[in-house]
């Protein structure tokens, strides 16, 4: 067995000092690389499925309403139930994955998600679909952070982790976008039930293959789950997401919005107080103070707010202002997926060669430029000259940004806290998305209502759409400025 010679620096992605020899077998590297790549493919397909269900119901909502007899208020909960469970339970299940076993929690989550998808596809009553969507969100909250933490541990080296997270981040962005495409295609050609039933093959394949490809891992240091912190943290996020979702429906001055927001603030304060005093906190405050992770998660909040709102508003705009039917609107998004793939391919290479900070600054500015182009799309504009240029620029920026944001948000995570780091990142994405949809969709609606009598409903809707996307672009410009000022030059190149 050959033995590596000692080096004068710490080995990338490990806690081993440079003088620690590593024993390698001649046959292990190629077989291990093959297993890790296969595991990455399966885990990315699962993440694609989980993110897909954030948006896959959007186009199908009218069909679901007509088939099951939903009222206007109840129909919103077909979307909100998933958001609420997914966003609210991430921290709890992310930490449980560290303590109980990441593979075990991942497989449990995928199985739960698959069963809930079957229940949604077979639902005969409105309440059955809403409950199924909530359980889907809970399964996603179990599987998502566990999968990302498994990837960070499967690829410990700096460059290989950057590439793996690049693929992961790009696939996540692709799932959020193609949910609209798939929803339009399936709803137009078959029935809305297939937007849930298509999850079943992915769940079955993952449950069969992952135990063969990925070893179990958990934190080596004995620790108990911080139950008070888990209850308070989960309650704070649940209340926050619920309040944001209600704000988009009821208006920000309604008691249904103010009450949960106040509860979220009180629970968050209590959570911080508990975490400062407990021996094994759910979220150690030192974990949050690591600069690269803090900046990565903060910028993910802005990024998610802008892009979730864009996806929601653009799909509505295509069908109202431009008159696309659901199938055409879904197909119109296909070039967006191609742009994300191109950006994803460039992102990991840019991070390795240029560093994380310049990659994120450029990607945010590209995304902002794309959103400004899309904000100019008006009734009567053709697809090729009006919609496509902004869509391609926006998607390229999205593909460049997501992998780098993922790498920044899990920088420095280890076998002790990889699940926690992944859960915080995923939770920030969900909260950011809820904020973006609630705030920017409300801004667009109020602008449209204010102008409807004077310029007509169609032009008024276009003005509201344009204002909301301009604000989203401004958020990304602000993010680029903050990244340039806050993200450290030296640490931005490392994913250790």
Q: Which residue has the higher pLDDT, 198 or 279?
A: 198
In whole angstroms, what is the distance from residue 91 CA to residue 88 CA?
Answer: 7
CB 390 within 8 A of CB 370: yes
Q: Which residue has the higher pLDDT, 176 or 404?
A: 404
Residues 90 and 214 reside in one and the same domain: yes
Instruction: Work out the mean pLDDT of the chain and round it to a whole number.
Output: 81
Residue 385 to residues 331, 333, 391, Cα–Cα distance (Å): 16, 15, 11
Beta bridge partners, 23, equal 3
pLDDT of 18 strictly over 50 = no
In whole angstroms, what is the distance from residue 319 CA to residue 188 CA?
Answer: 14
Where residue 23 falls among pLDDT bands split at 50, 70, 90?
Answer: very low
Closest CA to 322 of 278, 377, 360: 377
Range scoring the smallest mean pLDDT among 88-102, 217-231, 260-274: 217-231
DSSP state of 221: S
In whole angstroms, what is the distance from residue 139 CA to residue 118 CA?
Answer: 13
Residues 441 and 396 reside in one and the same domain: yes
Residues 353 and 471 reside in one and the same domain: yes
For the chain, the first-to-last Cα distance in angstroms comes to 28
Inside any domain, residue 7: no
With left for phi above 0 and alpha for psi between -120 and 50, is residue 445 left, alpha or beta? alpha
pLDDT on residue 11: 38
Q: CB neighbours (10 Å) of residue 6?
A: 11
Q: Which residue has the higher pLDDT, 44 or 2?
A: 44
Mean pLDDT for the stretch of residues 37-54: 85
Inside any domain, residue 16: no
DSSP state of 23: B
Number of structural domains in the chain: 2
Inside any domain, residue 6: no
Range scoring the smallest mean pLDDT among 18-22, 188-192, 288-292, 377-381: 18-22
Task: Identify the domain containing residue 235 by its residue range.
Answer: 226-281
Inside any domain, residue 20: no
Residues 271 and 184 reside in one and the same domain: no
Beta bridge partners, 263, equal none
Inside any domain, residue 75: yes
In whole angstroms, what is the distance from residue 395 CA to residue 406 CA?
Answer: 17
Closest CA to 46 of 242, 200, 238: 200
Q: Is 104 strand, coil or helix? A: helix
In whole angstroms, what is the distance from residue 123 CA to residue 452 CA?
Answer: 38
CB 14 within 8 A of CB 111: no
Cα dihedral: 262, 267, 272, 274 (round 10): 150
Residues 121 and 189 reside in one and the same domain: yes
Residues 366 and 231 reside in one and the same domain: no
CB 76 within 8 A of CB 249: yes
Residues 358 and 236 reside in one and the same domain: no
Tokens of 227: 């139950």
What pLDDT digit, counting tens, does each position of 404-428 carry? Answer: 888 888 887 776 777 778 788 888 8
Q: Is 414 strand, coil or helix? A: coil
pLDDT on residue 16: 37
> Please, what's the largest Cα pairwise distance for the chain?
81
Inside any domain, residue 373: yes
Mean pLDDT for the stretch of residues 86-115: 88
Tokens of 295: 């900046």
CB 403 within 8 A of CB 344: yes
Please identify, among 259, 281, 303, the residue that sits at the C-terminal boundary of a domain.
281
In whole angstroms, what is the distance from residue 258 CA to residue 247 CA?
Answer: 9
Tokens of 325: 């039917």
- For the chain, the residue count is 496
What pLDDT digit, counting tens, does each position of 252-306 carry? Answer: 778 888 898 899 999 999 988 888 888 777 777 777 778 888 898 899 999 989 9
Beta bridge partners, 3, equal 23
Cα dihedral: 246, 258, 89, 281 (round 10): 170
Q: CB neighbours (10 Å) of residue 304?
A: 23
CB 486 within 8 A of CB 295: yes
Range scoring the smallest mean pLDDT among 246-255, 392-401, 437-446: 246-255
pLDDT of 319 strictly over 50 = yes
pLDDT of 129 strictly over 90 = yes
Residues 287 and 349 reside in one and the same domain: yes
Inside any domain, residue 399: yes
Give the gyration radius of the chain's Cα atoms: 22
Residue 225 to residues 8, 94, 107, Cα–Cα distance (Å): 38, 11, 20
Q: CB neighbours (10 Å) of residue 321?
A: 18
Residues 111 and 210 reside in one and the same domain: yes
Q: Which helix (H) or strand (E) holds 206?
A: helix 199-213
Residues 324 and 400 reside in one and the same domain: yes
Mean pLDDT for the stretch of residues 68-85: 77
Q: What is the CATH number of the domain that holds 413?
A: 1.20.1250.20
pLDDT of 495 strictly over 50 = no
Residues 95 and 181 reside in one and the same domain: yes
pLDDT of 25 strictly over 50 = no
Closest CA to 428 of 48, 94, 99, 130: 94
pLDDT of 31 strictly over 80 = no
Inside any domain, residue 241: yes
Residues 98 and 247 reside in one and the same domain: no
Determine phi and psi for 49, rounding to 5 degrees: -65, -45
């Amino acid at each position: 067995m050959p033995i590596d010679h000692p080096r004068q620096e710490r080995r990338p992605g490990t806690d081993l000092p440079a003088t620690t020899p590593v024993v390698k077998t001649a046959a292990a590297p190629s077989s291990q690389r093959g297993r890790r790549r296969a595991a990455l493919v399966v885990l990315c397909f699962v993440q694609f499925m989980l993110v897909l269900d954030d948006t896959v119901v959007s186009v199908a909502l009218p069909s679901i309403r007509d088939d099951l007899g939903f009222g206007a208020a109840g129909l919103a909960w077909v979307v909100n139930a998933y958001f609420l469970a997914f966003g609210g339970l991430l921290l709890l299940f992310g930490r449980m994955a560290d303590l109980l076993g990441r593979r075990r929690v991942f497989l449990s989550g995928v199985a739960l998600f698959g069963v809930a998808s079957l229940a949604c596809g077979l639902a005969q009553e409105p309440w059955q679909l809403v409950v199924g969507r909530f359980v889907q969100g809970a399964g996603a909250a179990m599987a998502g952070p566990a999968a990302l933490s498994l990837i960070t541990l499967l690829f410990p080296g700096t460059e290989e982790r950057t590439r793996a997270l690049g693929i992961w981040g790009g696939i996540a962005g692709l799932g959020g976008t193609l949910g609209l495409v798939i929803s339009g295609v399936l709803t137009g050609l078959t029935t809305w039930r297939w937007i849930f039933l298509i999850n079943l093959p992915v769940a079955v394949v993952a449950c069969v293959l992952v135990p063969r490809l990925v070893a179990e891992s958990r934190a080596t240091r004995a620790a108990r789950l911080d139950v008070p912190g888990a209850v308070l943290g989960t309650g704070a996020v649940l209340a926050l997401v619920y309040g944001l979702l209600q704000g988009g429906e009821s208006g920000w001055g309604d008691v249904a919005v103010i009450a949960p927001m106040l509860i979220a603030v009180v629970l968050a304060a209590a959570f911080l107080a508990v975490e400062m005093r407990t021996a094994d906190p759910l979220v150690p405050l030192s974990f949050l103070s690591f600069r690269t992770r803090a900046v990565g998660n903060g910028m993910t909040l802005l990024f998610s707010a802008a892009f979730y709102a864009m996806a929601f508003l653009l799909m509505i705009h295509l069908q109202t202002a431009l008159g696309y039917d659901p199938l055409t609107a879904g197909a119109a998004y296909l070039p967006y997926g191609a742009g994300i793939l191109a950006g994803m391919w460039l992102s990991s290479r840019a991070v390795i060669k240029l560093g994380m900070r310049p990659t994120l600054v450029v990607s945010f500015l590209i995304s902002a430029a794309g959103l400004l182009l899309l904000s100019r799309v008006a009734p009567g504009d053709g697809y090729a000259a009006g919609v496509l240029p902004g869509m391609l620029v926006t998607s390229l920026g999205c593909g460049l940004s997501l992998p780098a944001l993922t790498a920044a948000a899990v920088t420095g995570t280890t076998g002790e806290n990889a699940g926690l780091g992944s859960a915080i990142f995923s939770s920030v994405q969900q909260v950011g998305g809820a904020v973006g949809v609630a705030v920017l969709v409300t801004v667009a609606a109020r602008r449209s209502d204010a102008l409807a009598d004077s310029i007509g409903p169609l032009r008024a809707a276009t003005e509201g759409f344009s204002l909301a996307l301009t604000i989203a672009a401004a958020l990304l410009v602000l993010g680029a400025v903050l990244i340039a000022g806050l993200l450290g030059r030296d640490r931005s190149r490392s994913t250790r």
